[in-house]
């Protein structure tokens, strides 16, 4: 029985006691900024992601300067591959002179303190838009794909990537990448494993941004990405990636999967990150553009929700805005 004088509202009465009892907070240290890089000059808008642009390496350096000034810890790179550089074997993925590799080198030489995370997956480089190499019926073949991912991850590490982030959902790739990195002397290169990545429709705008939507057509990724109905399976995926040598794990998408973030944190106690994906960004932007939601308040509330769910950080296209808003207080 609750005592008759229990008044939960007492602590909510004033700003000082609300601040004292606040359990979770959002700071700039929680933000990772995903950026799209292209071979063209200048910037190009992504129509389904208002405010997001594809950047040339020069423009990327300008954005990185802003991110550094705001003290955002890291950025995550997503290259847009020209259609003529795509192939069935995705060989452009491990080209040491590729766009991603050049972008990493440019970033690390100009802003050594800014963490650089690269995406390890073949979808920007395959002609069919799948994350791996396919057989003659279009099935993504696991072990051949893992060999390609190892080449890609090594190429990223040699370019100077601080963190390689396999987002492909092949089995066994974390162990293969870890072993190859160690053998090549990259003992400090961290692995952020997209351990629980779901076959989600919320990736739609991202596929527009990197230009893999057209190649993919009606095909989906449900033979390797997870079924949105499953949670126990996510725990097995995370256990496996940790056992194989992942330093951090990722849950993706974010907001519809906060239960997975919470369980991951509770069950493993390791660094857990969440990706507020392109579709989540598009939803908030569209509602804000219509005047239906207060963008700043809703974005900060959504990001705080990730922290409350147990995430150590969030990949978010709102990172620059959020960092500015947090600074303004
Ligand atoms: N390796 C693919 C990849 N890496 C990041 C995203 C999605 C990110 C977003 O939607 O913001 C995807 C999409 C996919 O699996 O098709
Ligand atoms: Mg797995």
Give the domain ranges of the chain. Answer: 24-328
Which protein residue has the closest C-alpha to ligand 1 atom 3? Answer: 167
Contact 72, 28 (CB under 8 A): yes
Question: CA-to-CA distance for 204 and 292, rounded, in angstroms?
Answer: 22
Considering every ligand atom, which ligand is closest to the CA of 238? 2
Mean pLDDT, rounded, of the chain: 96
User: Which pLDDT score is estimated for 132?
Assistant: 97
User: Is the preceding peptide bond at 57 cis, omega within 30 degrees of 0?
Assistant: no
Which protein residue has the closest C-alpha to ligand 1 atom 15? Answer: 203
Which protein residue has the closest C-alpha to ligand 1 atom 10? Answer: 203
CA distances from 312 to 82, 141, 162 (A): 35, 33, 18
Instruction: Tell me, in angstroms, the distance from the centre of ligand 2 to residue 328's CA.
Output: 40
Instruction: Tell me, in angstroms, the distance from the centre of ligand 2 to residue 70's CA.
Output: 34
Closest ligand 1 atom number to CA of residue 315: 11
The secondary structure element, H or E, covering residue 248 is strand 248-252
Burial status of residue 113 (CB atoms within 10 A of its CB: 0-12, 13-18, 19 or more) = exposed
Contact 41, 129 (CB under 8 A): no
Tokens representing residue 79 in the block: 């290259």
Contact 122, 131 (CB under 8 A): yes
pTM (two decimals): 0.97
Instruction: Tell me, in angstroms, the distance from the centre of ligand 2 to residue 224's CA.
Output: 9
- Greatest alpha-carbon pair distance for the chain in Å reads 73
Neighbours of ion ligand 2 (CB under 5 A): 237
Which protein residue has the closest C-alpha to ligand 1 atom 13? Answer: 203
- Could you tell me if the ipTM is greater than 0.90? yes
- The reply, when asked if residue 237 is annotated as ligand binding, is yes
The secondary structure element, H or E, covering residue 166 is strand 163-166
User: Which pLDDT score is estimated for 216?
Assistant: 85
User: Which pLDDT score is estimated for 253?
Assistant: 98
In CATH, the architecture of 24-328 is Alpha-Beta Barrel (3.20)
Contacts of 220 (CB under 8 A, 6+ apart): 199
Q: Which residues of the chain have pLDDT under 70?
A: 1
Closest ligand 1 atom number to CA of residue 216: 16
Residues with CB under 6 A from ligand 1: 119, 121, 123, 131, 167, 203, 206-207, 221, 277-278
Question: CA-to-CA distance for 55 and 63, rounded, in angstroms?
Answer: 9
Considering every ligand atom, which ligand is closest to the CA of 46? 1
Compute CA 289 distance to the chain's CA centroid, rounded to the nearest angstrom. Answer: 24
- So which residues are the catalytic ones? 197, 252
Compute CA 276 distance to the chain's CA centroid, rounded to the nearest angstrom. Answer: 8
Mutate to test the pocket of ligand 1, among 193, 203, 215, 280 (most ligand atoms within 8 A of CB): 203
Numbers of helices and strands, H then E, in the chain: 12, 10
User: Which pLDDT score is estimated for 329?
Assistant: 85
Considering every ligand atom, which ligand is closest to the CA of 168? 1
User: Which pLDDT score is estimated for 284?
Assistant: 98
User: Which pLDDT score is estimated for 212?
Assistant: 76
Instruction: Tell me, in angstroms, the distance from the centre of ligand 1 to residue 206's CA.
Output: 6
Closest ligand 1 atom number to CA of residue 122: 1
Instruction: Tell me, in angstroms, the distance from the centre of ligand 1 to residue 290's CA.
Output: 26
């Amino acid at each position: 029985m609750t005592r008759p004088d229990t008044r939960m509202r007492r602590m909510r009465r004033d700003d000082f006691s609300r601040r004292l009892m606040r359990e979770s907070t959002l700071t700039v240290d929680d933000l990772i900024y995903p950026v799209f890089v292209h071979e063209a000059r200048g910037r190009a808008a992504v129509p389904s992601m208002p405010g997001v642009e594809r950047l040339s390496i020069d423009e990327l350096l300008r954005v990185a300067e802003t991110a550094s000034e705001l003290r955002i810890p890291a950025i995550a790179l997503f290259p847009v591959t020209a259609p003529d550089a795509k192939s069935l074997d995705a060989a452009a993925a491990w080209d040491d002179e590729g766009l991603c590799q050049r972008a990493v080198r440019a970033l690390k030489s100009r802003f050594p303190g800014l963490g650089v995370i690269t995406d390890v997956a073949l979808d920007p480089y395959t002609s069919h838009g799948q994350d791996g190499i396919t057989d003659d019926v279009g099935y993504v073949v696991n072990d051949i794909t893992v060999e390609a991912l190892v080449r890609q991850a090594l190429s990223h590490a040699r370019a100077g990537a601080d963190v390689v982030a396999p987002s492909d959902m092949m089995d066994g790739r974390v162990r293969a990448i870890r072993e190859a990195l160690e053998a090549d002397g990259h003992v400090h290169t961290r692995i952020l494993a997209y351990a629980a990545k779901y076959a989600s429709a919320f990736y739609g705008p991202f596929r527009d941004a990197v230009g893999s939507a057209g190649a993919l057509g009606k095909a989906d990724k449900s033979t390797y990405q997870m079924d949105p109905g499953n949670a126990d399976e996510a725990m097995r995926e995370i256990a496996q990636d940790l056992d194989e040598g992942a330093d951090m794990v990722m849950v993706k998408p974010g907001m519809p999967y906060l239960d997975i973030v919470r369980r991951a944190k509770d069950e493993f106690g390791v660094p857990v990150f969440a990706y507020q994906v392109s579709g989540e960004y598009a939803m908030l932007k569209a509602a804000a553009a219509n005047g239906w939601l207060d963008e700043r308040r809703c974005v900060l509330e959504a990001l705080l929700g990730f922290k409350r769910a147990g995430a150590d950080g969030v990949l978010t296209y709102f990172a620059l805005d959020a960092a500015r808003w947090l600074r303004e207080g």
